C-alpha cells in the first residue's frame, strides 16, 4: 500500500508519496499561508493531499501528517503549536470531515524520530529518542517502531523540562526549560542577555572555533547545560540511541565537548548511549509523517 505523508510548517507544507517499498515517487511543497488564517491553511492541506493522491491515481494508501504541537486527547483540539492560529482548533476532525477519511496527526519531533528510527541513524535500535535543536527544542520517542505519544500527547516533550527554576521565562510559562538553554533560539537570546550583543549563532560558533574568549566562555556554559539535559533524559529512559536534528545539531563540538559533559553528569559508571547526528536531514519530518499514517 502507498504511504502519503505531509509536514505542516510555519512557512511551507511538504507532501510525499512512498510506494510499498518506501521508495519516494512524488514530492511537492506549497506555501502554508499562515497570514491568511486557519481555513486557508486547511484548504492548502486538502489541495496538497489531492495532488498526492492523484499522483497514484487514488490507489489505496495511508495518510499521516506532522505538525508543531499535538492533538489533545481530552479536547481533540491542537495545543502547543508555534503556528498559533492553529491552537485551540479541531484540526484532525476538520480535516477528516473535508477529506472523508481518517488521518493520523503527530508532533513533528515524533515524525523526525520515526524517520530516523525506520531508515536513519536509529535503524535497528529498539528505543530511539530524536531531538530537534532548532529555533526551539523538541523531542520524540520511538519504541519498537511505534511512536510513544503518552496519555496527554506530550511524550518526548523533554524540551520543556526545567533545568533551572530560576532561569529565564520560557514561552510555555515555566522558567529555565531545556529549550531556553540548548536550542538555537534560546542560545541567541542567552548570548544577547549575557553580553548585550545581538550576534547570529553561526558567528558565535565560528568565534568559538577561532578561540575568541567570550565565545569560548559562552559555549562552555552551553556544553554544561547540554550535558545536564541529555543526562536527565538518559537517566529516565536509557534509550538505545539519541539522534540530534535541527540546525544547531550541525555544531561539531556537540559531539566532542558536549558528549564529555554528558559522560560527566550521567548516573552511570560509563556512557554507552550513542549521541549522533541525524542521517536523513530535512526530509525526516515528511518521511516520518508517511510512516505514522493510517
Question: Per-domain residue ranges for the chain?
Answer: 2-110+283-291, 123-278
Tell me the pLDDT of the chain averaged across its residues.
96
Q: Phi and psi dihedrals of 175, rounded to 5?
A: -110, 140
Contact 108, 284 (CB under 8 A): no
Summarised one tens digit per residue, pLDDT across range 260-289 is: 999 999 999 999 999 999 999 788 999 999
Summarised one tens digit per residue, pLDDT across range 250-259 is: 999 999 999 9
Q: Which three cell numbers stand for residue 58?
A: 487514488
Q: What is the CA radius of gyration of the chain?
A: 19
Within 147-251, residue ranges assigned H as helices are: 178-182, 184-195, 201-209, 213-237
Q: Which whole number is the average pLDDT over 50-70?
A: 96
**Helix/strand/coil for 32:** coil
pTM above 0.85, yes or no: yes
Distance, in Å, from the CA atom of 113 to the CA atom of 121, rounded to the nearest integer, reads 10
| Half-sphere CA count of 217, side-chain side, radius 13 A | 7
Fold of 123-278: Nucleotidyltransferase; domain 5 (3.30.420)
DSSP 169: B
Q: Which residue pairs, CB below 8 angstroms and at least 24 apart, start in 185-188?
A: 185/134, 185/135, 185/136, 186/136, 186/137, 187/222, 187/248
**Helix/strand/coil for 83:** coil
Q: Phi and psi dihedrals of 287, rounded to 5?
A: -65, -45
Fold of 2-110+283-291: Nucleotidyltransferase; domain 5 (3.30.420)
Query: Can 2-110+283-291 and 123-278 be said to share one CATH topology?
Result: yes
Summarised one tens digit per residue, pLDDT across range 27-40 is: 999 999 999 999 99
- Write down the residue that cell numbers 488521518 correspond to: 103
Amino acid at each position: 500500500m502507498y504511504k502519503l505523508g505531509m509536514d505542516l510548517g510555519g512557512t511551507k507544507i511538504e507532501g510525499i508519496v512512498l510506494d510499498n517499498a518506501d521508495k519516494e515517487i512524488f514530492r511537492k511543497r506549497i506555501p502554508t499561508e499562515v497570514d491568511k488564517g486557519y481555513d486557508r491553511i486547511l484548504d492548502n492541506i486538502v489541495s496538497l493531499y489531492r495532488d498526492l493522491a492523484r499522483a497514484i491515481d487514488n490507489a489505496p494508501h495511508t495518510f499521516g501528517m506532522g505538525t508543531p504541537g499535538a492533538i489533545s486527547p481530552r479536547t481533540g483540539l491542537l495545543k502547543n503549536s508555534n503556528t498559533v492560529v492553529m491552537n485551540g482548533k479541531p484540526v484532525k476532525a476538520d480535516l477528516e470531515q473535508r477529506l472523508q477519511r481518517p488521518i493520523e496527526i503527530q508532533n513533528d519531533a515524533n515524525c523526525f524520530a520515526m524517520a530516523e528510527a525506520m531508515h536513519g541513524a536509529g535503524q535497528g535500535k529498539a528505543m530511539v529518542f530524536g531531538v530537534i535543536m532548532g529555533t526551539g527544542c523538541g523531542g520524540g520517542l520511538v519504541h519498537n517502531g511505534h511512536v510513544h505519544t503518552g496519555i496527554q500527547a506530550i511524550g518526548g516533550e523533554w524540551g520543556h523540562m526545567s533545568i533551572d527554576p530560576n532561569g529565564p521565562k520560557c514561552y510555555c510559562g515555566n522558567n529555565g526549560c531545556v529549550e531556553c538553554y540548548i536550542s538555537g533560539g534560546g542560545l541567541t537570546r542567552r548570548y544577547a542577555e549575557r553580553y548585550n550583543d545581538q550576534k547570529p549563532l553561526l558567528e558565535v560558533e565560528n568565534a568559538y572555533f577561532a578561540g575568541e574568549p567570550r565565545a569560548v566562555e559562552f559555549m562552555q556554559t552551553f556544553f554544561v547545560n547540554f550535558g545536564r539535559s541529555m543526562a536527565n533524559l538518559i537517566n529516565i529512559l536509557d534509550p538505545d540511541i539519541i539522534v540530534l536534528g535541527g540546525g544547531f545539531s550541525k555544531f561539531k563540538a556537540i559531539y566532542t565537548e558536549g558528549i564529555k559533559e554528558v559522560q560527566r553528569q550521567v548516573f552511570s559508571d560509563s556512557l554507552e548511549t550513542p549521541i549522533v547526528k541525524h542521517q536523513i536531514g530535512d526530509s525526516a519530518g515528511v518521511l516520518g509523517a508517511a510512516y505514522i499514517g493510517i
